[in-house]
Amino acid sequence: MTRETISRLEWKWWALGSAALIILTSIPYGLGWLMETPDHAFSGFFVAIEDGNNYLAAMYQGAAGRWLFHNPYTPEPHAGLFANFIYLVLGKLAHLSNLPMVLVLHLARAAAIPLLLLALYRFVAHFTPWHAVRRLSWFLVAFGGGLGWLWVLAGGTFAPGAMPTDLWVPDASAFLTMLTFPHLVLAQASILWLAISGLRFLRHPNGRDGFSVALSAMLLSLIHPYSPPILIGLLTLYWAWQGWRSRAFAWKPLLRLGVASSPSLPFLVHALFVFHADPILRSWQEQNLVRSPHPLFYLLGFGLLCPLALVGLLRRTPLSRQQDFPFLVLWVLVIPVLLYIPSNLQRRFLNGYQVPLALMAVCGLVVLFYRMRPGWRRRAVSGFKTISTFSNLLLLGGFIILVTERPPLVFNTRAVLTAMDWLAAYAEADAVVLAAYDTGNLLPTRALVRSFVGHGPQSVHSDMRRDQVRAFFNGTLSAEARLALLREHQVRFIFYGPSERALGNASPDDLPDVQLIYDQDGVQIYEVHNGVQTCQWCAAPSHFPAGPLRVR
């Protein structure tokens, strides 16, 4: 049996593991839909809700016929961007199938899980023929986490940026990735396929592996344009190490690798150009801070993998003598350096890193096995696997409890959703809507409009505009200042519901050139005319039809 051959028993292992993870990661979502009431609807998210709504907004745009993503969270006009492509396509599928968009998103997430687990097993199998090592490495990535559970039990702060990464960084945890969004699952799968194909292609260039390099690099670039250069860079470093060791640099394989991965370049060039040239997109990039936390949180986040990986790096084992093992060493050593280079995207460099770290940790565990009595080895493996699942079980249980409590944002008021659907049916495309931040984040998932503010990185001057909205609704601004704000940003509609009332009691009713056009169940929508009346019901504001959702 060759090193990369996967037996029938291993295929069963992959199938059962895929089914188990699809079920486990779907439990909180299924429970969320079961917990819906006549007054409250499940948002479809319980973690990273702000980003989840952004992806639903992209799906809505795709369903509306767009192939370029338009930032729906800022009032400034701007050109479309080749971004969120997967969600634009999913939106079109939702439109064709007539299924709810959030359901299509999670069906895509579930469908992507087996692809990631297959890529993971293929990657591990490339480095070792030992079935026990393959299964243990696969388990540690698919089901394992770090020591975040100890942090929680010790009463540590439970907040992003101030706790171990296995509790909040999907890029550092395959389980958390599979629990969140489909594009993150596909990105990790693409990284592993690119690494495997690139290694094989460097050693024996052939059409099959070249096509696999091109396809995985292109798919990865569609999701994260900055990721393919990192993998190609690691492969280039590995090629240089081989050349230095043999004192002979084979240039043709490297050139062929560059050609094979070139389909990913257009997306990277496009992203670099538009995010530099367009001031709206440049603001998005500057506000999109994905910085690394304190190193301690990485060490706790990866837990026992770190000390075991260190043993695997320092001591030689039968695994370390396997072909291409130095590539793992390079990956494990280079990424920690990249995590703290001057960049807004530091945490993104973690994508896929858990896999080589876990495999290196298993190498370290093999070293320790030689010092153990045979009877203790099985117990050590069982204990290691059990401890590695604690953080993920804690997360899963916490999310289940969270969903059962029906908190705001996780559950949305149906009266608000009905008003948004009404606005979707009768507002012109890309009309600017002034609303509270939470409302502005949700609104583009239901209507083809632009929110005045609603997403931290994507809303230009996000913090300032949140303050402006707060002042608009709490009466701090005079009537003249409120009108000036509406005119400056060409606001077309004002949404006035529970979130807006929570900011203050300054209703738009007393503003000139602002007319009530919708009033149902405690939610009002006002149209800003600026002297021009366009709404067909403005002449009879006592009648507010709740029209069906109409996707343009």
Q: What is the pLDDT of residues 474-521, one digit of tens each?
A: 989 999 999 999 999 999 999 999 999 999 888 998 898 899 999 999
Give mean pLDDT, residues 116-138. Answer: 93
Among the listed residues 213, 52, 144, 92, the one whose alpha carbon sits nearest the alpha carbon of residue 389 = 144
Statement: residue 81 has pLDDT above 70: yes
Give the residue-averaged pLDDT of 460-479: 93
Tell me the pLDDT tens digit for each residue of 133-164.
899 999 999 999 999 999 999 999 888 889 99
Secondary structure of 197-258 as H, E, C letters: HHHHHHHCCCHHHHHHHHHHHHHHHHHCCCHHHHHHHHHHHHHHHHHHHHCCCCHHHHHHHH
Pick the closest to residue 441 from 165, 45, 10, 39 (CA basis): 45
- Smallest CA-to-CA distance from 120 within 103, 137, 96 is with 137
How many angstroms separate the CA atoms of 435 and 453, rounded? 8
Confidence band (pLDDT; 50, 70, 90) for 4? low
Name the band, by pLDDT with cuts 50, 70 and 90, for residue 197.
Answer: very high
In eight-state DSSP terms, residue 1 is -
- Any idea what DSSP says for residue 518? E
Task: Extract the tokens encoding 384.
Answer: 């290691």
What is the reported pLDDT for 274?
85
Q: Match 């990535």 to its residue by tokens.
A: 141
The percent of residues in the chain predicted with pLDDT above 90, rounded, is 75
Residues with Cβ within 8 Å of residue 64, at least 6 apart in sequence: 91, 429, 448, 551, 552
Residue 413 pLDDT exceeds 80: yes
Residue 323 confidence (pLDDT) above 90 = no
Express each pLDDT in 7-51 by its tens digit. Answer: 888 899 899 999 999 999 999 999 999 999 999 999 999 999 999
Q: Is the pTM of this model over 0.85?
A: yes
pLDDT in tens, 308-318: 999 999 887 77
Phi, psi (rounded to 5 degrees) for 119: -60, -40
Q: Which residues contact 37 (CB under 8 A, 6 or more apart)?
A: 406
**Angle, helix 207-223 to helix 182-203, in steps of 10 degrees:** 150
pLDDT score for 472: 95
Q: Would you state the pLDDT for residue 543?
A: 38
Phi, psi of 368 (to 5 degrees): -70, -30
* Identity of the residue numbered 245: R
Check residue 5 and give its pLDDT.
Answer: 78
Three-state DSSP class for residue 434:
strand
Asked if residues 420 and 447 have their Cβ atoms less than 8 Å apart, the reply is yes
SS (H, E, C) 252-292: HHHHHHHHHHHHHHHHHHHHHHHHHHCHHHHHHHHHCCCCC
Instruction: Mark residue 48 as left, alpha or beta (left: phi above 0; alpha: psi -120 to 50; beta: remaining).
Output: left
CA angle, 83 then 86 then 92, to 5°: 110
Rg (the chain; Cα; Å): 26
pLDDT of residue 20: 96
Q: How confident is the model at residue 380 (pLDDT cuts 50, 70, 90)?
A: confident
What would the two tokens of residue 295 be? Answer: 């190193």
Grade residue 78 by pLDDT with cuts at 50, 70 and 90.
Answer: confident
Task: Mention every residue, 6+ apart, whose C-beta is less than 8 A from residue 259.
Answer: none
What the block records as the tokens of 393 is: 């079980």
Closest Cα partner for 541 from 514, 522, 511, 507?
514
Q: How far apart are the first and last CA of the chain?
A: 56
In the prediction, which pLDDT does 261 show?
93
Point out the least confidently predicted range of 80-84, 355-359, 397-401, 412-416: 80-84
Q: Compute the average pLDDT of residues 385-410.
A: 95
pLDDT greater than 50 at residue 532: no
In whole angstroms, what is the distance from residue 217 CA to residue 211 CA? 10
Quote the pLDDT of residue 368: 86
Within 13 Å and on the Cβ side, how many CA atoms surround 247? Answer: 0
Contacts with 540 (C-beta within 8 Å, 6 or more apart), sequence order: none
| Residue 7: per-residue pLDDT | 84
